[in-house]
Amino acid sequence: MELTNTTVVWYRNDLRTDDHAPLVYAAQRGNVIPLYILDFDETEKNSLGGASKWWRNHSLISLSESLKKMGSQLVIRQGKVEQVLIELCSEAGADQIVIHDSIEPDALECDDKLDDLFDRSGVELVRFPSNLLWPVGSILNNSANPYQVFTPFWNRGIQQSKIGQPISAPLKLHSPDQRFTQLSVEQLILGSNPEWASGMNRRWSPGENGAFNSFRQFQDLYLEGYHEDRDQLADQGWSALSAPLHFGELSVRRVWHTLTQQANWEQDPGRYSFLRQLGWRDFAAHLLNHFPHTTDNPLREQFQQFPWRDNENDLSKWKKGMTGYPVVDAAMRHLWQEGWMPNRARMIVASFLCKDLLISWQDGAAWFWDTLVDADIANNTLGWQWVAGSGADASPFFRIFNPMTQGKKFDPKGEYVRRWVPELASLSDKNIHTPWLAPVDALNNAGVVLGKNYPYPIVDHAQARVSALDAYSSIK
């Protein structure tokens, strides 16, 4: 029997065809209209930053090509969400809109409002679980409260909740005969690249195919030693899958089941360590939905009174990678060039901003939001509050990273610094993390002129540490 139903598949951060329950459901009903909406409200505080828009736009081009091969076409429109959805459903005669639940609280609130709106309009909004291991709210402690410490959250998750099996993409999609007005995916690129996009173009391949290739490469080259190598800065030991997971180019269920097919996977240190990182991703999303105010305010209320410094000059030097601390500067320049940095580097630069410079985590989170290709409101919030000591399962405030020690430990040969801070490239391994302590002859031979082609440290770390602890004492 011929199926005549028409379903709008509303894409958000699920830019894939594999393990896409709304797409499979729509394909089984009849005609499918894949839709992406550029919301007029993108000027709001949680709108995409420049680097994320670059990734999103290129990922949409990839998705559009995949859908064409399946016999369909991605419709891209701009406007108020509810207006775009109602107009398209009216044009197409669609009776259902299908979505993955969002991970973000604001979007979930929007979806709840749309439920009521479409009930009155005769169009049904059908929702499927989001791209998480465990649905938000499903992992609670014995008192039915959300966990604020990761390890018991993780243990409860893997012990009590079965993670669903991924499903394959439809082989073919049926499209309505009519054509719909829309923006072309190419129009998204014009005028939307941030000024630093050239480095991102060289580094990344957004889209579902690029995501699968990156995942396979990680499995083949880095998974086995992940537990030991993920913190090294110069040699890749990390997965670099955060952006594909954030934009839903990779199904977290597909990743999970691929990596847990091996018997005794919990005894494999590299594999287990990476899967725990997927658990941290879930933990961040669950926390944000339980405590949505933490995007702007500390979870631990005592930090509302913390005496942060408002110093635009120091903040600017941190952003530009001109602090005089080589590992900090290398990481910040890496961020600017490629829209990314390893997690260890993120912790180093965040600690330096919050504890050496006493500049608020909110300022750091805002910069990351604009410059990271994987900018994720939940992970960004958890990471910055963790370093600042103000969040859940947070590092104690008095744990202050020493940038010299961190550099020597995680970039022992100075390769990361030499790559991203080339003016220091000729310094020896001994001097590259502390150029201000290097002998004059060593500086001269390396062509380093402190204060001219590389700055002196903008703060003395030992003194800054004392100031940070004094500030913390004032709110205890």
CATH number, domain at 18?
3.40.50.620
Q: Which residue has the tokens 């609670």?
A: 140
Give yes or no: residues 122 and 147 share one domain: no
Rounded to whole angstroms, how far apart are CA atoms 306 and 390?
10
Rounded to whole angstroms, how far apart are CA atoms 464 and 461?
5
Provide the pLDDT for residue 195. Answer: 67
Give yes or no: residues 274 and 325 share one domain: no
Asked whether residue 224 is assigned to any structural domain, the reply reads yes
Task: Name the token pair of 247.
Answer: 């934009």
Give yes or no: residues 342 and 388 share one domain: yes
Do 349 and 331 form a contact (C-beta atoms < 8 A)?
yes
Rounded to whole angstroms, how far apart are CA atoms 439 and 234?
26
Provide the pLDDT for residue 41. Answer: 57
Provide the pLDDT for residue 103. Answer: 87
Report the largest interatomic distance among the alpha carbons of the chain, rounded to a whole angstrom.
Answer: 85
Asked whether residue 179 is assigned to any structural domain, the reply reads no
DSSP letter assigned to residue 351: H
Edge-first strand order for the sheet with 96-100 is 75-79, 30-39, 5-11, 96-100, 124-128
Please calculate the CA angle 120-125-131 and round it to the nearest 5 degrees. Answer: 155
Of 259, 290, 321, which residue constitutes the final position of a domain?
Answer: 290
Provide the pLDDT for residue 61. Answer: 93
Asked whether residue 170 is assigned to any structural domain, the reply reads no
Rounded to whole angstroms, how far apart are CA atoms 72 and 22?
15
Provide the pLDDT for residue 110. Answer: 83
Provide the pLDDT for residue 192. Answer: 59
Give yes or no: residues 273 and 349 share one domain: no
Task: Name the token pair of 368.
Answer: 């990351």
Query: What predicted TM-score, i.e. pTM, was given to this entire model?
Result: 0.94
Give yes or no: residues 119 and 38 share one domain: yes
Give yes or no: residues 244 and 345 share one domain: no
In this structure, which amino acid lies at residue 194?
P
Give yes or no: residues 15 and 102 share one domain: yes
pLDDT tens, the chain, 476 aa long: 356 799 999 999 999 999 999 999 999 999 999 999 987 654 444 578 889 999 999 999 999 999 999 999 999 998 899 999 999 999 999 999 999 999 888 888 888 888 877 777 789 999 999 999 999 999 999 999 999 999 999 999 999 878 999 999 999 999 998 888 777 766 766 555 666 678 999 999 999 999 999 999 999 999 999 999 999 999 999 999 999 999 999 999 999 999 999 889 999 999 999 999 999 999 999 999 999 999 999 999 999 999 999 999 999 999 999 999 999 999 999 999 999 999 999 999 999 999 999 999 999 999 999 999 999 999 999 999 999 999 998 788 889 999 999 999 999 999 999 999 999 999 999 999 999 999 999 999 999 999 999 999 999 999 999 999 999 999 98
Give yes or no: residues 151 and 30 share one domain: no
Buried b (16+ CB within 10 A) or exposed e, 183-205: eebeebbeeebbebbeebeeebe
Give the domain extent around 108: 5-130
Task: Name the token pair of 466.
Answer: 């004392």
Give yes or no: residues 272 and 416 share one domain: no
CATH number, domain at 227?
1.25.40.80
Of 290, 318, 341, which residue constitutes the final position of a domain?
Answer: 290
Task: Name the token pair of 378.
Answer: 């939940």
Asked whether residue 200 is assigned to any structural domain, the reply reads no
Give yes or no: residues 429 and 313 share one domain: yes
CATH number, domain at 403?
1.10.579.10
By CB atoms closer than 10 A (0-12, 13-18, 19+), residue 54 is: buried
Q: Which residue has the tokens 């060039």?
A: 337
Q: How far is CA 376 from CA 248, 289, 345, 368, in A?
A: 12, 13, 17, 9
Asked whether residue 236 is assigned to any structural domain, the reply reads yes
Task: Name the token pair of 302.
Answer: 């005592």
Domain count, the chain: 3
Give yes or no: residues 225 and 322 share one domain: no
Provide the pLDDT for residue 2. Answer: 54
Looking only at the bridges linking them, the beta strands covering 5-11 and 96-100 are parallel
Do 418 and 412 form a contact (C-beta atoms < 8 A)?
no
Give yes or no: residues 348 and 459 share one domain: yes
Asked whether residue 146 is assigned to any structural domain, the reply reads yes
Asked whether residue 177 is assigned to any structural domain, the reply reads no
Asked whether residue 76 is assigned to any structural domain, the reply reads yes
Please calculate the CA angle 39-40-45 and round it to the nearest 5 degrees. Answer: 85
Provide the pLDDT for residue 435. Answer: 98
Show Cβ contacts of residue 254 under 8 Å, excluding neighbours closer than 6 positions. 18, 19, 166
Of 290, 316, 351, which residue constitutes the final position of a domain?
Answer: 290
